[in-house]
Amino acid sequence: MAVTKVSLCGITLDNPVIPASGTFGYGREFSELYDLNILGSFSFKGTTLSPRSGNPLPRIAECAGGMLNAVGLQNPGVEKVIKEELPWIREHFKKPVMANVSGFSVSDYASVCELLDREDNIGWLEVNVSCPNVHGGGMSFGTTPEGAAEVTKAVKKVTKKPVIVKLSPNVTDIASIAKACEDAGADGISLINTLLGMRIDLKSRKPLLKNKTGGVSGGCIFPVAVRMVYQVYEAVKIPIVGMGGIETAEDVIEMMLSGATAVQVGAKNLVNPWACPEIINSLPEVMDKYGIHNLTDIIGGAHE
pLDDT tens for 123-154 read: 999 999 976 555 555 556 788 999 999 999 99
Length of the chain measured in residues: 304
The residues near 203 (Cβ < 8 Å, ≥ 6 apart) are none
The pLDDT value given to residue 140? 64
Answer yes or no: is pLDDT of 284 > 70: yes
Answer yes or no: is pLDDT of 181 > 80: yes
The pLDDT value given to residue 141? 78
The pLDDT value given to residue 1? 87
* 102-122 average pLDDT score: 96
pTM for this one? 0.96
* 162-167 average pLDDT score: 98
The residues near 96 (Cβ < 8 Å, ≥ 6 apart) are 11, 41, 121, 122, 123, 124
Q: Which of 131, 181, 220, 276 is catalytic?
A: 131
The pLDDT value given to residue 142? 82
d(CA 269, CA 226): 19
Q: What's the chain's average pLDDT? A: 95
The second-level CATH assignment, the architecture, of 6-298 is: Alpha-Beta Barrel (3.20)
More confident residue, 138 or 87: 87
9 is a catalytic site residue:
no
* 62-81 average pLDDT score: 96
Answer yes or no: is pLDDT of 25 > 60: yes
Q: What are the residue boundaries of the structural domains of the chain, listed by start? A: 6-298
